[in-house]
Structure 1
């Protein structure tokens, strides 16, 4: 379920990443090519981007499908950034959270998205939720598995973990608590992208000139796209991409 993408590189209009390519994120909202679960990503969307010298990103999120939002079309045409994260949300069960459930989630300099689903939610993660401070639970952005995953990642970062370790250890903890979950996470601070391939597709594109794209699926047919093996942590900057295998938790 869901599709997401992150970009680092020279300043571009948001639409150059999210709209213009032939199989861009907007088209993936109704016609994904490699989505393994779900078919239509119409239950919300969002984009976060970094502007100027402000380290905290701006966001635009809505509860409906991206293809019908004229304001997003205008923003994507004129807003430029050197780093962004966009996501479209798979059609799912009814809920009252609206755009609060749409990625990217944000805090400080960070943007976060989850492509997947936690098995046997919410009961399977009750023990992990219990490790969070009460304030973290009371301030969840939405009543969803993705919002709780974001809280778990944030808690590790606040405790001193770097963003790659926080993402990797959260995935391993959740996979142990809820086997069979799909846990493709995507996180950026505007200078680094961290992502996991765990149960769904993940690809990356690194090009000359310091341009790096990490996405659920390629937005075009450029042969330079690389598929990330399942059970892998990706950490990327504008010039380097590092892949680290993640070990399946013991049964």
Structure 2
């Protein structure tokens, strides 16, 4: 299980969203409020952000808990961005992938995170692995369910699928192969956000020219809105569109 957050809008210090709020992502690493599985998210963290004029995001990731990284606290005070994706990780199964297993995953202009788990991993997704070219499987950053789900999404994006369709089709495909999978996916290209609510909580907050999408609210602002389960979300600064997701065929 994990917690994650994406933002698009006017430039803001990373720490203003990830560290400073009363129930920030840093606090969610040790005291999540709406998490349905697991009690802490201390198996790594990461943040990706976009610098002005550069479409390729930068990342900072660590293997320990977010609250223990004072270097990131210092960066979060001064680094500003108009688009970011942050995540704290709670490992589903033991592994030795370290920093490589921490979201956000990245390729081209994209940042991606997965909040949830795939039952029976890796055996449950063996058939889906056969649908990817060998080069894409060998390029996996980590041997985790999240990294593999990212490979499925990225394959669709590079084939020309729109972000919401890439996420929706991947969710249905994985849910069919692994019933009971929790698949809250979060994706941004620095201008828009796409996400799915499938088995875990997802919320959004909009304001003038800005949108935040997160596993759970980082404060008590009454404008936070919960996304219904089985929904794909698409967002740009100040605007959110929700579309129901169909269950996979029996």
TM tier, shorter chain?
Answer: over 0.9
Under a length normalisation based on structure 1, what TM-score does the superposition of the two structures give? 0.98
Name stretches of at least 5 consecutive residues in structure 1 with no aligned partner: none
Are 1:124 and 2:124 counterparts?
yes
Aligned mates of 1:234, 1:137 — CA distance in 2: 28
**Aligned CA-pair RMSD:** 0.7
Q: Residues 167-205 of structure 1: CA distance to partner in whole angstroms, max 9, x if unpaired? A: 110001001111100000000000010000000000000
Matched residue, 2:104:
104
Tell me which stretches of 4 or more aligned residues in structure 1 moved more than 2 Å.
91-94
Alignment correspondent of 2:15: 15
Partners of 1:229 and 1:185 in 2: how far apart?
Answer: 14
Of 86-95 and 52-61, more deviation after overlay is shown by 86-95
The 8 Å contact of residues 63 and 102 in structure 1, kept in 2 or not, is answered as yes
Q: Is the 8 A contact 1:43 1:92 kept in 2?
A: no
Q: CA deviation at 1:232?
A: 0.3
1:54 & 1:81 partners in 2: Cα distance? 11
Distance (whole Å) between structure 2 residues aligned to residue 176 and residue 52 of structure 1: 40
1:250 aligns to what?
249
Q: Please give the TM-score of this superposition, normalised by the length of structure 2.
A: 0.99
Which residue of the partner structure matches residue 218 of structure 1? 217
Question: In the alignment, which residue of structure 1 is the partner of 2:83?
Answer: 83
- Unaligned stretches of 5+ residues in structure 2: none
- Per-residue CA deviation, residues 92-112 of structure 1 (Å, 9 max, x unaligned), is 433210000000000011000
Report matched runs for 1:41-56 at 5 Å.
41-56=41-56
Q: What's 1:27 paired with?
A: 27
| 8 A Cα contact 2:32 2:39, kept in partner | yes
Equivalent position SS for 1:56: coil
When residues 165 and 92 of structure 1 are mapped into structure 2, their CA distance, relative to the original with a 3 A threshold, is closer
Task: Find the aligned partners of 1:92 and 1:115 in 2 and give their Cα distance.
Answer: 11
2:92 and 2:117 in contact (8 A); partners too: no
* 2:231 corresponds to: 232
Q: Is the 8 A contact 1:38 1:91 kept in 2?
A: no
Distance 1:156 1:137, change over 3 A: same
Rounded Cα–Cα distance in structure 1 between residues aligned with 2:126 and 2:15: 39
Following the alignment from structure 1 to structure 2, what is the Cα–Cα distance between the partners of residues 245 and 89?
A: 27
Equivalent runs, 1:203-214 vs 2, <5 Å: 203-208=203-208, 210-214=209-213
Q: Any idea what the Cα deviations from partners look like across 1:30-58, whole Å, max 9, x if unmatched? A: 01111111110000000000001010000
Instruction: Please give the secondary structure, in 1, of the residue aligned with 2:40.
Output: coil
